[in-house]
């Protein structure tokens, strides 16, 4: 295999993380093929607006494809050789999985096997795929380490992400496909998803509507700014995993393997309560939120906290963005994107 990584496929390129990652890679001179089905899980206009910022780039090529369509995915891999595939496409959302389970099976399982097959047959040098902090499920030992066992997911979404890790490991073992899974911790920032807390809270506060505060504001989250996530992904992308020669089958470490496979957390390593998060938003906007306190929802976990020591050791990555700065950047973007003469655009 060549060590030169130039041609990158990003699935979910019109999504929040995919858009920012594609933009940064294009700035660095990489050739990027973006894949997205532009589904209507949230406002398609936002996805298209992100995409419209990428389309003018000469090194960017977009294909509207559904990951679950194995024929189209196979054809895409036949048309061009990719050095790295970064799989970010997935049906997202913990609560949505309670009412729409089949969409998670189609996108996160059927779609992912199509990507694995494409990478296998086209000898991709490195598959980087998005997992989630949700895989820690019922775990309570903090901070969460990629070396911890994660066999007790509490949502179907989390279960599909855990399944992705296992599927990738099997391909890494069987076909020597280098795979790295990244467990993202509550990503936020400009161009973020409308179903995420920061977006929902900002929208409601500006419209002077009440916000729903789950678990009475006691939930703790390791909020991670999008620029830090992108930096971590790019560093990992360049570090193709190798077999761990010290891996012990009598005491197996889930974060590495006898195969070319790795798992890392990407988080801020600094969890805060939901109440603190809301207070930071209130301070940035200058308006006090109207709060409706609600018990924790099915599928949610009370806390997340990322141990990123292995990621720092292997790549030198560490998050740099302060929460107050990241929230300020989001609100500036939100007001610019949605502001009209009579208030804010509906979506």
Please list the active-site residues: 157
Does an H or E element contain 183, and which? strand 179-184
d(CA 105, CA 102): 5
d(CA 76, CA 67): 11
9 exposure class (CB count in 10 Å sphere: 0-12, 13-18, 19+): buried
What are the structure tokens assigned to 174, written together? 């069987």
Q: Give the largest CA-CA distance in the chain.
A: 66
d(CA 305, CA 94): 18
Q: Identify the residue whose tokens are 């779609």.
A: 111
Measured between alpha carbons, how far apart are the two ends of the chain, in Å?
46
What are the structure tokens assigned to 218, written together? 């006691």
d(CA 299, CA 182): 21
């Amino acid at each position: 295999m060549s060590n030169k990584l130039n041609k990158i496929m990003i699935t979910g390129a019109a999504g929040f993380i995919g858009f920012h990652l594609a933009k940064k890679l294009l700035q660095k001179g990489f050739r990027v093929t973006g894949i997205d089905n532009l589904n209507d899980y949230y406002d398609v206009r936002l996805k298209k607006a992100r995409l419209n910022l990428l389309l003018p780039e000469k090194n960017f090529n977009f294909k509207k494809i559904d990951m679950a369509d194995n024929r189209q995915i196979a054809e895409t891999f036949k048309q061009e050789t990719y050095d790295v595939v970064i799989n970010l496409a997935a049906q997202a959302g913990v609560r949505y999985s309670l009412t729409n389970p089949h969409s998670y099976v189609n996108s996160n399982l059927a779609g992912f096997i199509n990507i694995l097959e494409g990478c296998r047959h086209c000898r991709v040098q490195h598959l980087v795929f998005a997992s989630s902090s949700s895989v820690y499920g019922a775990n309570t030992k903090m901070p969460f380490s990629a070396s911890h066992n994660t066999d007790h997911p509490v949502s179907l979404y989390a279960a599909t992400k855990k399944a992705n890790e296992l599927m990738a490991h099997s391909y890494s073992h069987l076909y020597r496909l280098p795979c790295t899974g990244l467990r993202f911790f509550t990503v936020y920032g400009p161009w973020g998803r409308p179903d995420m807390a920061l977006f929902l809270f900002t929208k409601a506060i500006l419209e002077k509507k009440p916000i729903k505060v789950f678990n009475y504001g006691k939930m703790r989250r390791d909020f991670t700014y999008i620029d830090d996530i992108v930096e971590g992904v790019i560093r990992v992308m360049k570090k193709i995993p190798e077999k761990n020669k010290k891996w012990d089958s009598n005491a197996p470490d889930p974060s590495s393997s006898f195969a070319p496979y790795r798992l890392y957390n990407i988080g801020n390593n600094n969890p805060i309560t939901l109440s603190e998060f809301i207070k930071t938003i209130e301070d940035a906007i200058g308006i006090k939120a109207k709060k409706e306190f609600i018990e924790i929802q099915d599928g949610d976990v009370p806390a997340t906290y990322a141990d990123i020591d292995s990621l720092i050791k292997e790549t030198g990555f560490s998050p740099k963005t302060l929460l107050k700065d990241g929230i300020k950047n989001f609100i500036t973007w939100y007001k610019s994107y949605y502001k009209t003469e009579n208030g804010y655009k509906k979506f």
